[in-house]
Structure formats: C-alpha cells, structure tokens
Chains A and B, each alone.
Chain A
C-alpha cells in the first residue's frame, strides 16, 4: 500500500510543480502536441498520393502511429528520470537515492513524471486512435480489447525496459545519449510504418534488437490482418503482449549488474 501512496504522492507533486506555472505548462504541452502533429500531417499528406503502402492504407497507418504515441505518453510519465538519467548522474542527483530505504528503480520510476510530454503525446495518440480505429475494420469484442490493452502495457514495458538499458550504460560510459539517439529514436521513426517496407537488415534490428515491431506492428497485425504478415512467423503476433515482460526483466537484470559498477568507481 505504501507503494501506491508514494506513487500518488509523486504524481501529485509532479502535477503541483507544473501547476505553479500553469500557462507555461499548458503552452509547453501544446507545443509538444503541435510538433508531433506536424510530423503526422506531413506524413498524412504524403500518403494521400499513394493508395496504400504494402497493403496498408492511410487510416491503417494512422492506427499504427496511434499505438506509438499512446504507449509513449505512459513511458514519459513513468520513466522520465530514466530518460534523463545521464544528466541526473552528471549533476549528482542520483546519489541521494542510494541512501533511501527503497529500490533504486522503484524510486526512479515513481519520482518524476514528465506530464507535459505525456499530455502532448497522449492527446495526439487518442486523436489518432479516434480518427482511425473506426475505419480500419476492427471488430471490437472482449478478445480484441483484452489483446489491445495487453499490447499497450507490453509496449510501455518494452520502451521502459529500453530506457533502463540505456540508463545502465551510463555506468560504463560518460556519453550515452548518442547511442540512444541512434538506436531508440531512429528505430522509433522506422516503427511508424509497416516494417515490411524496409530492408531485411532493418527489419531484423526492429524485431530482434530494438523490438519496436512488438510495440505496434505485430499488435496491429492481430487486429488488421494485412497480407504482408506472410513475411513473418504468425507466433510473433501472439507473443507481442509478452515481449514487454521479457524485455523488462532483461533490462532489470542488466541494471542490477551495472549499478554495482557505480559503487566501485567512486561516483
């Protein structure tokens, strides 16, 4: 119960910090929303030129995007400290967590929520879902809704796990942002489109190394059943809701090993 209390307290604190500058915060959230929307609008206009890409029409692709934004809205509210972890180490703000009687990841996950980014991405995610979900022929019933919810949770865990892994690298290297830039953000850009359009190498990366394919592509395939699924093993669709747990546990193990290094190097 104590955990829930801390979680609510932290959320309240993040919220009240933001509310000290109410207008600033709303403008900032709006800015995030507009920035991300602009990308989508450009893509949308470009896609109007084509009937479909590898069998995916415009609405189906917006649905693919919506999962990315929805999951990311949760990721930034839970894993904000891990997103900014290298800066936290540099500024010496990590040390204080060490002497508190709670797990380090527990503290990092609960302490800080980037509500501005969360609202910006979340609003866009919901909008894209509302625009597309009714037009892509998904039959919403208990099974599909359950699958969808599990897939969203799994998508959050996959991205959170990746943030944990990139944060763990901070214990080995001084500069980790460029690694993350290459592997996380670039892969995320690829994940906006059906992965079947890419070279085999990139498909391999996005399925097995930085498994963004399990965040949105395979879950969308369960609901949409597009013909390009013949390129992949059907099992991927069914394990997608589980991949999050696997990635997260692996990330947790890597974190546990890596954080030990922090002690021996003398902070």
Chain B
C-alpha cells in the first residue's frame, strides 16, 4: 500500500509536485502519464523515498521510505534510464552476477531465469560487452533484465520503452503484462504514451505541471476525455459535405482534407462514408490521439 497525502516538493526554486494525494493498493497497476517535465520522475523518486517531500504525508508499505529499509529494497525494482544499475566498465553478464550476490538470490534459479529473460529481451548477443558500447535501447533492455532477476514485488518503471524498436517493445510489454498477472505485483509505470499505459495499467494518474489532474481508470479517460482523432484525406475529385456531422474541426487546402473528430460522437467509418459519397479518395491517413490533446480536454472538463 502506497499513500500520498498533500505532497508538495520544490526543487531549485521550481514547484515540481503540487499538493498530490492518492493511494495505490497492493497488486494495483498504475500508469503515471504526463508530458516531459511534468514531474513524473520526481513523483516516482518520492514514492521510493529518494526524495523527501517538503510537506505532506507519505507511506510506502507502512514506511516513510522504501529505500531506507533493506528488506523492502529486496522486493523493489526501480528501472530508469537515468540511474543505470549496470557497471560501466564491466561486461553486462558480470553486472548480472553482481546482482545475484547483492540480492542474495539462489544461484541456480537466478541463472535459469537469466537464460529465459535474455531470450525474451533479446540481449544474449551483448551479454559479453560492456554497457558503454550499447545503444540506449539495448542498455534499457539489460537494465530491465537486471531488475527482473530479483523477482520484485514492486516494479517501478520510468520511461523504460524509450529508444526501443516497435517489435521488441510489444514483446516486452507482453512480458510485463504476463509478469504482473502471474505474480500479482504492484506496478507503477511512467510514460508519455497513452497507448503503452492503456495496455499495461488499469488505472491512470495524469500529471501536468506538478499537479494531479486526473486519477481514474483507463476506460474512463478514453470515454470521458476521449481524445480527438484526426484524419487526413487526399481527394482527387469532388467536394465533401459535412453540414450535419458532429465534427470538431475541418479544413481543406488544395486536394487535402483534415478532419478532427471525437470518436465518442462519430465513428471513423461514418466520416469516410460521407466523404466517399461525394468524392473520389486518393489516400487516407489516420492519426491516433495524443497526450497533449487529452490534457487539454481534461482541463476543459
């Protein structure tokens, strides 16, 4: 159980966390989303106990700070690109070896786990290299394996998908989904991608400029603040007529048509049908909603 009550924090003159309150139950999967600089990482550091709030109340598993409690730390994994657990000058596999001793893991079990994880995260090819020679995405994959070796009960993942190729990203997200369902872990996942959080988390905390502006299910964010979709259509002939359609916005130039709409009010198929009645379509591009638009909508209520 993680509890935050009216937590405020100012760092170098900037209010990074403004009066934040929420609870996270055991086994809950929570996504913290926000734009860059919204305060996600500071919030995560605060939950871990790395940063003490200026005011407000915080308890993680009954303690003021997770990281001052060695027993609690054995069950915690905090993966972050800015706090590498790998040793720069050592081969990646030596860092894993170090992890096994540090966390007092059973050598045989951990070794078997490592073989499995190395396959899933596709890191086998660079276990014999030092992290210096790896790309950001390759390093992050090794960091995740390091974290999962100790089979944590609390998983804190800070923008871990940055720099990953799409195919491996979906594979890894699939693994996390399985991991959290099988082991009943508490997962806190930060990202600026709605889609990632939608797949992994039941609940969303949306942070903007240090304030918690939304706390609820992913379903609700999609329904209530269903972000706008955008569609760009290239037309070779004719003029469309949208008089009676509930669109948010549309504009036209040369042969291009841009339509912004709310999926709760009107479906994509209906728009296309309407356009096709009057025009010949050359090309269609669909843009999924982004975080900025969602945040704008939440502010508007």
Interface residues of A (CB under 8 A from B): 2, 5-6, 9-10, 13, 16-17, 92, 95-96, 98-103, 263-264, 266-267
Contact = CB atoms under 8 A, between A and B. Distances in A.
A267 B73 contact: no
Interface of B: 9, 11, 42, 45, 48-52, 65, 67, 70-71, 73-74, 76-78, 82-85, 87, 89-90, 94, 97-98, 101-104
**How would you classify the secondary structure of chain A's contact residues: helix, strand, loop or mixed?**
helix
B90 A101 contact: no
A16 B42 CA distance: 37
Contacts of B9: 266
Contacts, number: 66
A113 B19 CA distance: 45
A101 B11 contact: no
A96 B84 contact: yes
B103 A9 contact: no
B92 to A, nearest CB: 12
Contacts of B101: 2, 5-6, 9
B87 A99 contact: no
A13 B94 contact: yes
Nearest to A103: B70
Contacts of B11: 266
Contacts of B94: 13, 16
Contacts of A264: 51-52
A13 B87 contact: yes
Contact of A17 (B76, B84, B90): B90
Given A9-B97, A13-B87, A99 B102 contact: no
Contact of A95 (B77, B83, B98): B83
B45 A99 contact: no
A250 to B, nearest CB: 22
5 contacts: A98-B50, A99-B76, A101-B73, A263-B65, A267-B51
